Amino acid sequence: MRKLCIATAVGLFLIDQVSKFFVRTRMFEGESIPVIPGFFNLVSVRNRGAAFGFLNRSDIDWQVWLFFGATIVAGIILYGLIKKSPKNRTLSFSAGCIMGGALGNLADRFRFRAVVDFLDIYWKEWHWPAFNAADIGICLGAFLILFTTWKTPAAQGKKKQIKTR
């Protein structure tokens, strides 16, 4: 299952980086292109903070190292999960989604000191913070891990005990 995790991570990383390349080379920063009027735009924005703009300040360069450390810690945790359940395809796919997304955003942080976001979903004046393919992978992977662990019975890993009278 490690191969599935690696293939998923590499695939998502490439999709993320190619899509961001097109945004960076075909759109001006701050530009917005309506795709579904009243609901969805392609935008070109830079996020210097964490998810959904948290800590989005342009004067803090140490954040790159904070996110680098968080990516390393997440990788170690995900590796432990996969090693503990080596035959769980959903877990391997989920870990690959998270790592591919984390590495895609981390690559942006090192190269541009900001993450390129380009997907804008909104309704009237309400806008969800702009996001990208890496963010989708991270959220999907986290959801699948939570769902998988929630649906797995707690007693599954325990040996059946024989009742004695």
Among 63, 60, 100, 57, which Cα is nearest to 78's?
100
Burial 57-92 (b: 16+ CB within 10 A, else e): eeeeeebbeebeeebeebbeebeebbeebeebebbb
Which residue among 16, 108, 117, 120 is the active-site one? Answer: 117
Which residue among 16, 108, 120, 135 is the active-site one? Answer: 135
Annotated catalytic residue 59: no
Annotated catalytic residue 120: no
Residue 41 has φ and ψ, to the nearest 5°, of -125, 155
Residues identified as active-site: 117, 135
